[in-house]
Amino acid sequence: MTISKENFKKTFLEKLATMYGKSIEEASDIDKYMALASLVRDYINKKWVQTNKQYMESGEKEVYYFSLEFLLGKLLGSNLLNMQLTELCKEVLAELNIDINEIENLESDAGLGNGGLGRLAACFLDSLASLHLPGHGCGIRYKYGLFEQKIVDGYQVELPDNWLRDGNVWEIRKPDKAVEVKFGGNVKVDNVDGRLTFTHENYESVLAVPYDIPIAGYNNNTVNTLRLWSAEAAKKDFDFSSFSRGDYMKAVEYKYSVEAISQVLYPDDSYYENRVLRLKQQYFFVSAGLQSIVRRYKKKYKSFSHFSDKIAIHINDTHPTLAIPELMRILMDEEGMGWDDAWKITTNAISYTNHTIMSEALEKWPIETLRSLLPRIYMIIHEINERFCRELWNKYPGDWDRISRMAVIADGYVKMAHLAVVGSYSVNGVAKIHTRILKQEVMKDFHDFYPYKFNNKTNGITHRRWLLKANPLLSSLITDTIGPSWINHPWDLINLIKYADNSSFQDELAKVKLQNKSSLAKLIKDKYNLDIDIHSIFDVQVKRIHAYKRQLLNVFHIMDLYNRVRENPYLDITPRTFIFGGKAAPGYYLAKLTIKLINTLASVINNDKTIQDKIKVVFLENYSVSLAEMVFPASDVSEQISTASKEASGTGNMKFMMNGAVTIGTLDGANIEIKDEVGNDNIFIFGLTADEVLNFYHYGGYNAWDIYNSDSRVKTILNQLINGFLPNANDEFKNIFNYLLYNNDEFFVLKDFSAYVDTQNRLDHRFRNKSKWLTMGVHNIAHSGKFSSDGTINEYAVGIWKIKPVFISEE
């Protein structure tokens, strides 16, 4: 499909006329955005129809990626890019005197995710489509995404994220494909001709209505589907006439209680437990998704015996684990299959990714909560547990300890990770070290029992959004230097290595970086009225605020640097701008206090005239996919300083690297694999290793007070939290002081402090040698192809899902 400039322009103007009855002169910016987006959508939709047709006919296996989160960001820019329309569109809009960036910014971010896990799902969808792979997403159409963060007086305040306020041009509501999801009630068991039958009675019915979003591949004809489910009251159950007068309020209450299911994305804090609504969300989308998959399967095939040859179901963390008992229920209660056949199909269809070893984050549901909300599902889980424990008994007779450690139901809870491992054929971690820790520590018992299920799939990011789209200047420079092959084969970025020491290439790279820094500086000036020096080191930590990610370690380094400069105003340091961004879960006090601390420190340092602007600190409000696209290209230093063993992979680390920033980090998650690629000379590694950390946890031997008492810098900094050095009206920072010292610093902030500061000093010196620094940047870009999600998805496709490309022809 080739579209001419004239044609594009004509269609755009027609859109304005047909949609709004306006000429270009009359149209508002939002009209222009809507017209442009719907034009692009029309092109995509044609390919969508063709893709669905070929998938239906081809008989190839398809994968469904079930995830409670898809952090898509804005879609206009990435759709233009994947449809090869970016240049054309720019030209046409320029002729019409429209700034495409301004138009793009009018779209709300689809912020249907917390952080890495949700963004990973979005990158995977992009890679699936771009690699011609038949793979679709299944999730919830939250009316409100992750809250919008405002900073008020230094504190985080949460506002609702009403991303659908102006409608969503990319989605198509499909009421004819709605399905019913049942909650509560009881199960009637009958014996029909010697066979037990199970009938769900007295349940509350919820209508699941799908909204489909097209996922266009890059420069191909593939358009896959992201299906997001919305909860509605079934018409028959919400018919005012059927309620007597007195029940009017009941009817309204019922409607709201149903709609609540897809109302809002839960922020990831530690207080899921007993949140029945969260469990409802999980079952709601899993049941709806599976019912629609089975319905489509039955249109294509007569027998279920080939189900797992045609369909793969992937569960993103434990959130969709109820897919296991739900598929069992559908196969047995609705399709009349026996347990053994149903179990075989289920455990050959479902695969599971684990995303954290943090025990607080491992989901479990109280038995009673699950049983009363999902009585039939509970019965099935109970049976899965019985059979599993019997198997365990056969292998480990008498080993009650082990059996109760591994049981799916134990201590009054249903343990979702256990259910996920037992009910799937593949369990993967998201970076080599994470998978190793899963096998050797967190899931050791399961690895002993099912060694063949465990495998690693290191995360990746789509280089299309995170380089091609986010950093057009760098992309052009790369293409001018090594040609365009890297766009389809990201590992070709390695050809840049030849230019690592090439001074004219370095000069160009330096120019690109400076321009990107200047764009970010402008944003910071406009938004916060703060001047920052674009020649200073842009030292950036953007990610969710969590104790284990150790924003506090970063803050303490800044405090120490500031103390040194105050003591010696002539101290020779490279000017630095420390940039933070990230949201704290609303119920996570320490994380929210960390934000307040950063902002307080920023106001002290930024207003101190005596330090001659050598240090600046900025907290970027409301970190999001769109903001991230501005930040990575402008960064010099990537802060990846989690306590070793705690960050399963990280994906921000890869986005920085791809944009030429140099990492300062611990040997944790994918940092290790980044180090293995770029080599020790092109990364700054410091701190405890994962094994050292795990040893401290197992055997003790760390006392935070020892460091407070022996390192005067640490003592000074911690005292500054409580002695009035920081304006601290509410006396709150003492809680950080107490947390670190009286709670023995569970994430080893103080223990790693000295190594971190030494390494930062090394980095400071290295930055002064411009050419050496640029060489490091080139090495990072050149090796980043390894972290394209195209590679990751290829490994999932071959190693787990067994799916093959389906090449879609032009309509």
Catalytic residue numbers? Answer: 355, 543-544, 549, 651, 655
DSSP state at residue 143: S
Q: Least separation, in Å, of the C-beta of 316 and ligand 26V?
A: 9
Inter-axis angle of helices 734-742 and 712-720, nearest 10: 140
State both tokens at 626.
């769109």
CA distance 55 to 134: 7
Count Cβ atoms within 10 A of the Cβ of residue 57 and give its class: 0-12 exposed, 13-18 middle, 19 or more buried: exposed
HSE value, Cβ hemisphere, 13 Å, CA-based, for 499: 23
CA distance 809 to 429: 36
Q: Least separation, in Å, of the C-beta of 73 and ligand 26V?
A: 16
Q: Least separation, in Å, of the C-beta of 302 and ligand 26V?
A: 38
Closest CA to 69 of 437, 353, 464: 353
Residues that bind ligand 26V (CB under 6 A): 115-117, 120, 268-270, 317, 355-356, 358, 360-361, 430, 459, 647-651, 669
CA distance 419 to 406: 10
**Cβ pair 395, 445 in contact under 8 A:** no
Minimum CB distance to ligand 26V smaller for 124 or for 562:
124
CA-to-CA separations, 172 to 168, 190, 212, in angstroms, rounded? 9, 42, 5
Sign of CA dihedral 335, 340, 341, 346: positive
Q: Least separation, in Å, of the C-beta of 548 and ligand 26V?
A: 7
Minimum CB distance to ligand 26V smaller for 86 or for 789:
789
Token pair 């990537």 in the structure block, residue: 638
State both tokens at 389.
């424990």
Q: Least separation, in Å, of the C-beta of 156 and ligand 26V?
A: 17
Tell me the helix, strand and coil percentages in the chain, rounded to 5: 55, 15, 30
CA distance 17 to 718: 64
CA-to-CA separations, 233 to 68, 140, 207, 255, 686, in angstroms, rounded? 21, 16, 6, 5, 55
CA distance 161 to 264: 9
CA-to-CA separations, 696 to 162, 644, 692, 740, in angstroms, rounded? 45, 12, 6, 16
State both tokens at 422.
């037992």
Q: Which residues are CB-neighbours of 767 under 8 A, at least 6 positions away?
A: 537, 574, 636, 773
**Cβ pair 373, 183 in contact under 8 A:** yes
Q: How many Cβ atoms sit within 10 Å of the Cβ of residue 118?
A: 25
Minimum CB distance to ligand 26V smaller for 143 or for 457:
457
Minimum CB distance to ligand 26V smaller for 180 or for 360:
360
Closest CA to 505 of 777, 250, 170: 777
**Cβ pair 563, 717 in contact under 8 A:** yes
Residue 524 backbone dihedrals phi, psi, to 5 degrees: -70, -40
**Cβ pair 234, 206 in contact under 8 A:** yes
State both tokens at 68.
């409670």
State both tokens at 808.
């879609």
Minimum CB distance to ligand 26V smaller for 102 or for 360:
360
Query: Which SS3 state, helix, strand or coil, does residue 209 take?
Result: strand
Task: Kindly write down the DSSP assignment for every residue of 280-326, as one continuous string.
Answer: HHHHHHHHHHHHHHHHHHHHH-S-GGGHHHHEEEEEESSTTTTHHHH
Q: Least separation, in Å, of the C-beta of 492 and ligand 26V?
A: 25
Q: Least separation, in Å, of the C-beta of 24 and ligand 26V?
A: 43
Q: Least separation, in Å, of the C-beta of 381 and ligand 26V?
A: 22
Q: Least separation, in Å, of the C-beta of 674 and ligand 26V?
A: 13
Facing residues of 640 across strands?
Answer: 665
State both tokens at 550.
């150790």
Q: Least separation, in Å, of the C-beta of 68 and ligand 26V?
A: 10
CA distance 670 to 444: 21
HSE value, Cβ hemisphere, 13 Å, CA-based, for 156: 28
Q: How many Cβ atoms sit within 10 Å of the Cβ of residue 94?
A: 11
Minimum CB distance to ligand 26V smaller for 649 or for 780:
649
Minimum CB distance to ligand 26V smaller for 112 or for 233:
112
Q: Least separation, in Å, of the C-beta of 114 and ligand 26V?
A: 6
Minimum CB distance to ligand 26V smaller for 83 or for 123:
123
Q: Least separation, in Å, of the C-beta of 117 and ligand 26V?
A: 4
Inter-axis angle of helices 712-720 and 749-768, nearest 10: 100
Q: Least separation, in Å, of the C-beta of 456 and ligand 26V?
A: 12
State both tokens at 248.
């009017």
Minimum CB distance to ligand 26V smaller for 358 or for 514:
358
Shortest Cβ contact with ligand 26V: which residue? 116
Closest CA to 651 of 567, 544, 741: 544
Minimum CB distance to ligand 26V smaller for 89 or for 542:
542
State both tokens at 418.
């256990």
Minimum CB distance to ligand 26V smaller for 125 or for 208:
125
Q: Which residues are CB-neighbours of 472 under 8 A, at least 6 positions away?
A: none
